[in-house]
Amino acid sequence: MIDLLIGKIDKLNNPTVVGLDPQYEMIPRYIREKQLERHGKTLKAVGEMFYEFNRSLIDALCDIVPAVKPQIAMYERYGLDGIEAYLKTIAYAREKGMFVIGDIKRGDIASTAAAYAGHIGGVDVEGVHFDPWKEDAVTINPYLGYDGIKPFREICEKQGKMLFILVKTSNPSSSELQDVMTDDGRILYERTGDLVADWGEGLVGKYGYSRIGAVVGATNKAQGEALRHRLPHTFFLVPGYGAQGASGRDIGGFFDTDGRGCIVNSSRGIIAAYKKSDRFGEADFASAAREAALSMKKDITENIF
């Protein structure tokens, strides 16, 4: 999958991923009204709104953006109906040829981690295989150590799937634990990064990157550049671009000398672009998203050095 992902990025010359993280207020009024009329004030109505919104976004983006990253929390909030919209969104994005990163940030141990690994590995029932989630890759939290990674790694090894493990996140309070200096001179997130590199050994594909990637926030330029040098075989998923403050200039150095090594996420800045535009009305939200995605692509590719 790492080679598939990099192949898609190369083909579109676009190392970005759109975060499909709908919030109720982002949904254009006409979609809200239609679904409320059909389903009443229910969670089902919200699920249908989200799916309709995402479907149009995927249609508008699938020929220019290689991947989507739905954030499961936004769907999980609405219970089963929300999760159904998450699953339908994934199925539709895959149908349109997009790579799907499930932003699930799960993290647990032993048999529990094995159960979560069903997100990428599916599950067998009496000899019949099911794949209810269908993500190509998922995000994972490292706080519990390798016990929480192992079952996922096995699926990456056997089925070619991918992981992105949180190393340095883009939020201000990530410093509380991640930036702590430790006794051997490494900052905690550096230790996490080194662990991720270790866990990824033996899973390196033809572009030199492992199927075990890292989440590295765009909001700290120097840290990201240093991590690029430190972890030459670790592919980065980079949040924090756009709405969280980072621009192309901040992250040029997160890429390698071949212009590879990262996929940069933007969520609100793309999917809710129509809200910040004078030229696009809410009926044109998908066109606004496409324009914002092209502008992000330009900003990032121009700044890779």
Instruction: Identify the sign of the CA torsion 267, 259, 4, 195.
Output: negative
Active-site choice (34, 88, 96, 105): 105
- Please choose, out of 164-172, 227-235, 252-260, 286-294, the segment that lies near a second copy by the rule CB under 8 A: 164-172
- Nearer Cβ to a second copy (192/210): 192
157: its two tokens: 């090894």
Type of residue numbered 46:
V
Is residue 141 a contact residue for a second copy (CB under 8 A)?
A: yes
If one asks whether residue 174 binds a second copy (CB under 8 A), the answer comes out as yes
Q: Is 77 helix (H, G, I), strand (E, B) or coil?
A: coil
Q: Do 220 and 13 meet the contact criterion of CB atoms below 8 Å apart?
A: no
Site for a second copy in 92-111 (CB under 8 A): 105-111
Distance in Å, CB of 41 to a second copy, minimum: 5
30 binds a second copy (CB under 8 A): no
State the DSSP code for 241.
B
Active site residue 105: yes
Single out the segment in contact with a second copy by CB under 8 A; choices: 1-9, 94-102, 121-129, 201-209.
121-129
- If one asks whether residue 135 binds a second copy (CB under 8 A), the answer comes out as no
- How far is Cα 296 from Cα 298, in angstroms, rounded to an integer? 5
Locate 282 and state its tokens: 């809410």
Sign of the CA dihedral with 236 first, then 250, 267, and 63 last? negative
Binding of a second copy by 70 (CB under 8 A): no
User: Which structure tokens are listed for 54?
Assistant: 């995402």
Written as six digits, the tokens of 266 are 């933007």
Per CB under 8 A, the segment of 60-68, 135-143, 275-283, 293-301 that binds a second copy is 135-143
Burial of 132 from C-beta contacts in 10 A (0-12 / 13-18 / 19+): exposed
Which residues are the active-site residues? 105
Residues that bind a second copy (CB under 8 A): 21, 23-24, 36, 41-43, 45-46, 71, 73-74, 76-84, 87, 105-113, 115-116, 118-119, 123, 125-128, 130, 132-133, 141-148, 166, 169-178, 180-183, 188, 191-192, 195
